[in-house]
């Protein structure tokens, strides 16, 4: 057996050297461009706290931060946060979670009434370049907003929107809100993710420009009332996987995306 292996290796090497070019060629003799290479992946999650009908305590945030760390979430969009900035007896979710999870944060208030704020926020382990709050200019809006955040994810910048459209928005109002969110996309191939209480059925004009991670969720997760995640998709940004994770603050939608490098020109 040992003697046979001595001769097999050179024979295989010889066959490999005579097998011709390693890449396929076109009819005109040129070599086709290679596909974009996966440079890195990024894990993004979203959760809506609007329907949570109880006070959030420090222990709740501690446990939630532990889940976020365990799931290796790199960017987290949160909607419907209630804050009391001037009430010392109330825990500030934005400040407390940012410190506990060791993540940068950006937030934009939707409502500020008698010291109570409702805000949308984005937390990130990556540098946050800038953020912008955009209000929905529709009759059914009650100070609802969309928070637009640009994040330096290393391979390329990523745009993420954390939003809550008006609860009673329908018809033209809902269409106008979705158009506002879609209008936050930047030109070029910058990855774009929109999160929040977006409509489950994407029949609104323009919504077909984005994909929905719901189609990639397991059957039991696709039917849950969760924070929706819409996203752009192309050669340089693709959805790899999606699932839901239950927490004490609600169900979190977790999505993993691939960031690709353009193929080398030939």
Most confident of 57-71, 107-121, 140-154: 57-71
Q: What phi and psi, each to the nearest 5 degrees, are found at residue 25?
A: -120, 155
What is the per-residue pLDDT for 264?
63
148 touches 161 (CB < 8 A): yes
Which residue carries 């596909």 as its tokens? 35
- Of 179, 193, 167, 43, whose CA–CA distance to 103 is shortest? 43
Which pLDDT does position 15 carry in this prediction? 37
- H/E stretch holding 113 reads strand 104-113
* pLDDT, tens digit, 9 for 90 and up, residues 26-45: 565 554 557 789 999 999 99
pLDDT at 96: 96
Q: What is the pLDDT of residue 26?
A: 54
pLDDT at position 217 over 80: yes
The Cα 153–Cα 45 span in angstroms is 15
Of 51, 23, 17, whose CA–CA distance to 196 is shortest?
51
Give the homologous superfamily in CATH for domain 38-258: Endonuclease/exonuclease/phosphatase (3.60.10.10)
Taking the CA atoms of 240, 94, 121 and 129 in sequence, report the sign of the dihedral they define.
negative
Q: Determine the pLDDT at residue 30.
A: 53
Specify the pTM.
0.84
Rounded CA-CA distance 184/192 in Å is 9
């Amino acid at each position: 057996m040992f003697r046979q292996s001595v001769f097999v290796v050179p024979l295989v090497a010889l066959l490999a050297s005579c097998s011709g070019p390693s890449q396929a060629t076109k009819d005109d003799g040129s070599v086709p461009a290679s596909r974009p290479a996966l440079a890195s992946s990024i894990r993004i999650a979203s959760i809506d706290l609007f329907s949570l009908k109880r006070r959030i305590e420090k222990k709740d945030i501690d446990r939630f931060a532990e889940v976020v760390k365990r799931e290796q979430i790199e960017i987290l969009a949160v909607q419907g946060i209630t804050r009391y900035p001037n009430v010392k007896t109330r825990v500030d979710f934005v400040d407390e979670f940012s410190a506990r999870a060791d993540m940068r944060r950006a937030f934009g208030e939707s409502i500020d009434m008698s010291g109570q704020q409702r805000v949308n926020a984005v937390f990130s382990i990556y540098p946050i370049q800038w953020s912008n709050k955009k209000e929905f200019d529709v009759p059914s809006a009650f100070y609802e907003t969309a928070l637009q955040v640009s994040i330096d994810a290393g391979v390329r910048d990523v745009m993420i929107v954390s939003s809550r459209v008006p609860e009673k928005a329908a018809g033209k109002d809902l269409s106008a809100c979705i158009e506002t969110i879609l209008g936050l996309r930047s030109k070029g191939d910058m990855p774009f993710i929109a999160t929040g209480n977006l409509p489950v059925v994407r029949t609104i004009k323009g919504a077909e420009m984005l994909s929905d991670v719901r189609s990639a969720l397991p059957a039991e997760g696709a039917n849950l009332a969760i924070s929706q995640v819409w996203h752009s998709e192309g050669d340089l940004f693709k959805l790899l996987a999606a699932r839901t994770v239950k927490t004490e603050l609600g169900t979190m939608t977790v999505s993993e995306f691939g960031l690709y490098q353009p193929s080398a020109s030939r």
